[in-house]
Amino acid sequence: MGTGVVLDVRSGGYVALCTGIAALLLVVSVGAFVDPALEGSRDPDWAFWLWGSCLVAVLCRAPFVGLLIRDERVIRRSWVRTQSWSVSEVSGVKTAGYSGGLNQGSQSGRFLMLVLRMRDGSVVEVPEVSGERRKMNDRLHRVAHALRLPAPSEPGRHRIAEP
């Protein structure tokens, strides 16, 4: 059967920041919903319950966001969905400037994220595993070792070429 968890990589700071934003939005939303002064001007109740449910779902997902390598599978758990690939489909790992949901349309020069290079030539950005250069160097080597890939070079400000 399976060998259990081989490697579970998470970025505590990234998850804490995103969780804090969602928690703040939930607190403000609840405050606006229960405020009697806004009784005549607020949206219908169903809109609050839908919005509140989405925020609670994000908060419940937070402990599981990251990259998991288990039983010859590479599993990427993002805030909304889970993707998985066979370990043999990954041909390399590297880092690139962070370009996830917190800075749409640009790449960070300070924070890096993990990038999986697939055998078909495509790349999979994993912004859920991100951090400063020193932390990403350790994460990069741990992921490469778990995937039985050669040790990658030092992480840097690599740009990702569009396929």
Cβ partners under 8 Å of residue 57, min gap 6: none
154: which 2 tokens? 């030092």
pLDDT of residue 163: 45
Provide the b/e sequence for 98-134 (b: ≥16 CB within 10 Å). bbbeeeeeebbeebbbbbbbeeeeebebbbbbbbeee
Q: Which domain holds residue 33?
A: 12-62
39 and 97 co-located in one domain: no
In a domain, 151, yes or no: no
74 and 110 co-located in one domain: yes
pLDDT of residue 157: 47
107 and 129 co-located in one domain: yes
Q: What is the mean pLDDT of the chain?
A: 83
92 and 141 co-located in one domain: yes
User: What's the domain count of the chain?
Assistant: 2
In a domain, 161, yes or no: no
CATH number at residue 78: 2.30.29
In a domain, 160, yes or no: no
8 Å CB contact between 50 and 3: no
pLDDT of residue 34: 77
Residues in the chain predicted with pLDDT less than 70, given as ranges, are 1-5, 36, 38-43, 102-106, 153-163
In a domain, 163, yes or no: no
pLDDT of residue 97: 87
pLDDT of residue 86: 94
Question: What are the tens digits of pLDDT across the range 4-50?
Answer: 558 889 888 889 988 999 999 999 988 877 776 766 665 677 788 88
Place of tokens 């889970």: 82
